[in-house]
Chains A and B, each alone.
Chain A
């Protein structure tokens, strides 16, 4: 390597160094601290690293039925939320891609829910969904449907939070998928039309293959964020009724700040991190393979 290349490299390092340092402090350090904490009996009342208990917190967490229940609830929630947001988002993106006039207007309107703070989203929807005073039951009354107990019935509550999350987040999918669709060249479609492909065949043989990396990345990102859903539960159901909507982030939060057992909570967080890594890994590998 000659001098110019060496200088370039050094310059590159300096450029990247501030970001790396900040990221290490803000992201890596807390993770490491959390992992360390999980091996101790560390509570908010007795904040000391005197009590090393090894994997005890982990054993307790795994044996904890409520933790397992929350994990199950979360996985179910994430599955449906990501699935529906993807399907609906993709459909809307396809439709939007064919619109030429006023596209920006539709885009902006669809974007608005995503721009709203999640806490505000939760509060707005709680208002809408009030069984006696909310507008939703009022409107469905016009078509003869009985008022629905949106958040008071365990099954309904679960479906309702899925629905509210979709309302809030679907435009995230739309943005990413639309960007992917917009970058597909027009010509293969024309060749396909001449070759005799109908709309469905064009979608299957041209759109989907082109979209594969975008789809994977979009699903990946949304999956990771969905696993962390917290605000919605905190505002709308507090995990209830019963524990029907007790998502894992909310459960871990309560263990830490109400149960005051940080060590235990840390172990649960590490387990969650582990699960997330396992889910992401195959997708990650697929992505780097698909890039070639």
Chain B
């Protein structure tokens, strides 16, 4: 059951002299919910489209079920694609949209009706069958787009930011539906998004990309807790991560971190003079009594998120910013100076020269 279902080997995509996807390789196993995550322009959609066959590969290969599909037409790859803007056929009603691919394959009308029945029940869109796309809401169109891909019984589902055009409420609902749908169908989902919440909540594995390259692949918790680079540490953050810079001095087998004003023991930092470090806002506490270390800060901004407050503070001795989260019961005012507590084990260190984590 660990068969390599879909494999990308050193896939590269160039548009004239512009390399958009650079030497990307990964293996997706059966029934994975594999998510490509990254900022706009990082090459994730292009990668997905190459898997679908909507873009040509400049070099490399794509294998599906042990078959090389690198140069096959989209229709011969038997994958389904759900577009960001749904791409429904505007002149056909929902029923015709759903049956289009089946009609092209000359499937009998009886079978088509069966499939439509099944899919409309599954997605609860039965009452929409006679409507045209222009008569549907965003969420309904999204379901029809999904439905269109479901009737095909493909080897994998490719979804290109399908939720990004929905409002926040709907997005949360749809996330749940997609997760349960994937489980129910037991099919491989390859999903593209720039929203790290979606990636964290839905993925079996996340593949983070930036500027055409893969930065890290791993299950959500692993990537969150052990980011390989500053970029990953910054990107996988809700709402934000603290990345600070510090001079460090080696003193008698202890490392003095100037910015925090603390001494720690860390063999890896011995020969360095400067370092980046990160600490998540949720790992900074108002009560410092049972924490390893403390730091003094001045509050410069308070953001009320309803269920909690996001505090922006400035280090007293340093003026770099530090974000932390507290419950709304705390009455702290702007400009006040507080002492925060944190644990050394929550600090992650990154090399100044290549931004990679020092492990």
Contacts and interface: CB of A to CB of B under 8 A. Distances in A.
Given A201-B104, A205-B100, A194 B81 contact: yes
Contacts of B90: 188, 209-210
A205 B100 CA distance: 10
A193 interface: yes
Interface stretch (B72-80, B121-129, B230-238, B261-269): B72-80
A201 B89 CA distance: 13
B158 to A, nearest CB: 9
Contacts of B101: 195-196
Which of A196, A197, A205 gathers most chain B CB within 10 Å?
A196
A215 to B, nearest CB: 13
A194 B79 contact: yes
A116 to B, nearest CB: 38
A210 B88 CA distance: 13
14 contacts: A187-B85, A190-B54, A190-B81, A190-B83, A191-B88, A193-B54, A194-B53, A194-B74, A194-B80, A194-B81, A195-B148, A196-B74, A196-B101, A197-B100
Contacts of A188: 87-90
B203 interface: no
A64 B148 CA distance: 63
Interface in B35-66: 52-54
B74 A206 contact: no
A193 B91 contact: no
Which of A191, A196, A197 gathers most chain B CB within 10 Å?
A191
B132 to A, nearest CB: 11
A194 B89 contact: no
B89 A196 contact: no
Which of A192, A195, A196 gathers most chain B CB within 10 Å?
A195
Given A187-B83, A188-B87, A210-B91, A194 B100 contact: no
| Chain B residues touching A, majority SS | loop
Nearest to B151: A195
Contacts of B73: 193
A188 to B, nearest CB: 5
B87 A190 contact: yes
Contact of B83 (A191, A197, A205, A206): A191
B244 to A, nearest CB: 44
B251 interface: no
Interface of B: 52-54, 73-75, 79-81, 83, 85, 87-92, 100-101, 104-105, 148, 152
A190 to B, nearest CB: 5
Contacts of B80: 194
A244 to B, nearest CB: 44
Contact of A195 (B54, B91, B104): B104
Which of A190, A194, A209 gathers most chain B CB within 10 Å?
A194
Nearest to A195: B101
B292 to A, nearest CB: 54
A196 B91 contact: no
B79 A197 contact: no
B91 A194 contact: no
Contacts of B75: 193-197
Interface of A: 185, 187-188, 190-197, 201, 205-206, 209-210
A191 B101 CA distance: 10
B89 A191 contact: yes
Nearest to B105: A196
A205 B92 CA distance: 9
A191 to B, nearest CB: 4
A199 to B, nearest CB: 11
A187 B104 contact: no
Contacts of A206: 89
Contacts of B74: 193-194, 196
A195 B74 CA distance: 8
A209 B91 CA distance: 6
A240 B180 CA distance: 78
Contacts of B52: 194
Contacts of A193: 53-54, 73-75
Contacts of A195: 75, 100-101, 104, 148, 152
Nearest to B104: A196
A193 B83 CA distance: 13
Contacts of A210: 90-91
A191 B91 contact: no
Given A193-B54, A196-B74, 13 more contacts: A188-B87, A188-B88, A188-B89, A190-B81, A191-B83, A191-B87, A192-B100, A194-B52, A194-B74, A195-B104, A195-B148, A197-B100, A205-B100
Contacts of A185: 85, 87
Nearest to B76: A196
A287 B104 CA distance: 30
Given A193-B54, A194-B54, A194-B80, A205 B105 contact: no
A190 B148 CA distance: 13
Nearest to A196: B75
Nearest to B84: A187
Contacts of A209: 90-91
B150 to A, nearest CB: 13
A191 B81 contact: yes
Contacts of B85: 185, 187
Contacts of A205: 89, 92, 100
A193 B87 CA distance: 12
A206 B97 CA distance: 12
A53 to B, nearest CB: 54
A17 B328 CA distance: 64
A290 to B, nearest CB: 10
B99 to A, nearest CB: 10
Nearest to B89: A188
Nearest 10 interchain pairs by C-beta = A196-B75, A209-B91, A195-B101, A187-B87, A191-B87, A194-B81, A194-B74, A196-B104, A193-B74, A188-B87
